[in-house]
């Protein structure tokens, strides 16, 4: 009899608990996890910090195509000689290093593939870049065409500010042309070099939402 009463009491207790409302997930729970970062941006305007070391001020505009791919167009202005290791090795071999820079310009085209489902947002990416830079000095000019692969990362520092970093490796096609004054005439001396190009790149960007 005691056992029957005990089982009866346990049954009533379990039934009472089953009637209680269990906690449910808030349909707006995502808003509590939202950190305010703009992870669905359509474009990114970025300045390449590491290019300043080489004497170039590079700006790039990146446009998202879909959730995986984006395309980037860049332009650069050379404000001083800078330090370009790959250029320096060849330059000392062919032409003097003490001439004054008169003009320098460049442009680049990049295709990117992101590893996640939100292109140009906070994640890793792979990229293929073609970049053309031309530097004019007093008596000679230097042209570098770089074709390189990049494995990089993008990180959101705030709602609209991003940071990007990556490692580059590829090929450089370089051409030197020098005008040598002689008695009554001028002659043109030129040389071409093909070699490795690589290094580390980093920059900061500003996200745009259309």
CA 39 to CA 162: how far, in whole Å?
10
Which helix (H) or strand (E) element contains residue 128?
strand 124-137
Which helix (H) or strand (E) element contains residue 94?
helix 85-94
Q: pLDDT digits over 171-190, tens only?
A: 999 988 887 766 555 667 78
Cα–Cα nearest to 42, from 188, 210, 201: 210
Which helix (H) or strand (E) element contains residue 55?
none
Cα–Cα nearest to 87, from 168, 166, 150, 141: 141
Spans of all domains in the chain:
36-208
Token pair in block for residue 111: 């295709």
Note the pLDDT of residue 19: 53
Task: Return left, alpha or beta for 199; rule: phi > 0 is left, psi -120 to 50 is alpha, else beta.
Answer: left
CA 105 to CA 135: how far, in whole Å?
7
Burial class (CB in 10 A: 0-12, 13-18, 19+), 41: buried
CA 108 to CA 167: how far, in whole Å?
17
Note the pLDDT of residue 84: 81
Return the CATH fold of 36-208.
Porin (2.40.160)
Strand partners, 172: 146, 195
Note the pLDDT of residue 92: 57
CA 156 to CA 36: how far, in whole Å?
10
CA 70 to CA 44: how far, in whole Å?
10
CA 36 to CA 161: how far, in whole Å?
12
Q: How many CB atoms lie within 10 A of CB 91?
A: 20
pLDDT in tens for each of the 210 residues of the chain? 555 544 445 555 555 545 555 555 555 544 444 545 556 788 999 999 999 998 999 999 999 998 889 999 999 999 988 888 777 666 656 666 678 889 999 999 999 999 877 778 778 999 999 999 999 988 888 899 999 999 999 888 888 899 999 999 999 999 888 877 665 556 677 888 888 999 999 999 998 887
Cα–Cα nearest to 207, from 161, 164, 153, 163: 161
CA 45 to CA 152: how far, in whole Å?
17
């Amino acid at each position: 009899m005691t056992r029957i009463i005990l089982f009866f009491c346990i049954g009533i207790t379990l039934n009472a608990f089953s009637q209680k409302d269990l906690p449910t997930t808030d349909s707006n729970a995502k808003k509590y996890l939202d950190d305010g970062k703009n992870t669905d941006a359509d474009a990114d305007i970025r300045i390449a910090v590491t290019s300043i070391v080489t004497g170039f001020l590079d700006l790039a505009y990146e446009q998202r195509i879909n959730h995986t791919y984006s395309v980037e167009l860049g332009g650069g202005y050379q404000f001083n000689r800078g330090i370009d290791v790959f250029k320096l090795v060849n330059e000392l071999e062919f032409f003097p290093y003490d001439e004054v820079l008169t003009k320098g310009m460049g442009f680049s085209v990049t295709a990117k593939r992101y590893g996640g489902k939100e292109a140009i947002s906070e994640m890793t990416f792979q990229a293929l870049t073609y970049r053309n830079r031309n530097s004019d000095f007093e008596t000679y000019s230097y042209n570098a065409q770089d074709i390189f692969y990049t494995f990089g990362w993008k990180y959101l520092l705030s709602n609209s500010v991003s940071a990007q970093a990556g490692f580059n490796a590829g090929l450089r096609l370089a051409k030197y042309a020098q005008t040598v004054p002689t008695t009554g005439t001028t002659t043109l001396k030129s040389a071409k070099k093909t070699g490795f190009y690589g290094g580390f790149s980093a920059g900061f960007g500003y996200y745009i939402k259309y």
